[in-house]
A = this chain, B = another copy of it.
Amino acid sequence: MVLTKDVDHPDHCKQYFDSIVLVHQAFPALRLEDVDLRAKFLKYEVNAPVIITGMTGGHPEVYSVNEKLATIAEVLRIPIGVGSMRPVLVKRGDTAVAETYKVVRRVARDVPVIGNIGAVNLPGLDERVFIDLVNEFELDALAVHLNPAQEVVQPEGETGFTVEVVEAVVRLAKAVKVPLIVKEVGNGLSMEAVSVFYSKGIRIFDVAGACGTNWVSVEKHRLPENDVRRFVAESLSSWGIPTPAAIVEARYIAPDATIIASGGVWDGLRAAKSISLGADLVGLAKPLLKKLLLEGYEQALKFMEAYIQTLKTVMFLTSSRNTFELRRRPIVILGPLLEYLKQRGVDVNEYVMAR
């Protein structure tokens, strides 16, 4: 459904991404092959700062999907996340369920594999469950997703995003040996949201802004025709923080954190813009899944290769040897992004200097 129905944020924030102009350098002072995309992430050295963020898992029929995504990650040496591991916790001992996740680690041996769990479900659960999970599934990090908009319109949504959730996240962070990543699922992290978890020691954030898949629209289609929440979902079809704005929101509040830009970061040019704007890595989810399911493994792999090659090309054309240099290169920020940031209290010139 997420692949066929129109469930994306309208226009994919074209205006917001067009607000960012990277300056072409006719004399890059380097060769394409000098561009080094390698990045350190979760103790691994990966080949590109590009993450396949968490999508599937749980249903036995997605086993092979995860297997293929993991193969792509392993072949390209890039990090990969899995979908929510709630099914594992709910169906303890069901090996078919567990295997849909384990296959990722098995295949993607040499890159970070990231577990996934909903923040709102944590308060009811014992941390030891996660210590075991991390061990058993050999996870390199655990992504905790915040998805209040999705929960509101979900058939059995749970909306208790209370202080107990923060406490549970903190307890979890202390209990497990691997880092926690706080992420959204497509409506974006704000300064305020990042601040809550940054102040408690979380140092990795995936902004998952409102420029790609909109879960509110996805969930709409799962609701009965006459459910009031369908109308709610319709009014919120473009709800959320545009990804470029969310990148700055996060970086502004968490200058030393690892920021992952995702949510409609669907080609290498957008990836370069996101990194230039302040992200350390980019993530993408739906377009890769779509390629895989509609066109098969080979095309999906090629899509990712092209994505990375485009990022590399833009870095070359902006005279950037690596992502560190990319963030030092000139960036032009126009309205509406410029206006948005001003109104949010960000001194854009200062931000651009400091990013």
Contacts and interface: CB of A to CB of B under 8 A. Distances in A.
Contact of A33 (B159, B319, B343): B159
8 contacts: A24-B239, A25-B148, A25-B192, A26-B184, A27-B193, A229-B309, A330-B344, A332-B343
B309 A232 contact: yes
B316 A148 contact: yes
Nearest to A333: B343
Contacts of A166: 27
A180 interface: no
A200 to B, nearest CB: 11
Contacts of A192: 23, 25, 27, 319, 330
Interface in A181-208: 184, 187-190, 192-193, 196-197
A231 B190 contact: no
A296 interface: no
A44 interface: no
Number of copies of this chain that the complex holds: 4
A269 B240 CA distance: 12
A334 B152 CA distance: 28
A90 interface: no
A41 interface: no
A126 interface: no
A131 B281 CA distance: 49
Given A24-B187, A190-B26, A231 B161 contact: no
Contacts of A338: 339, 343
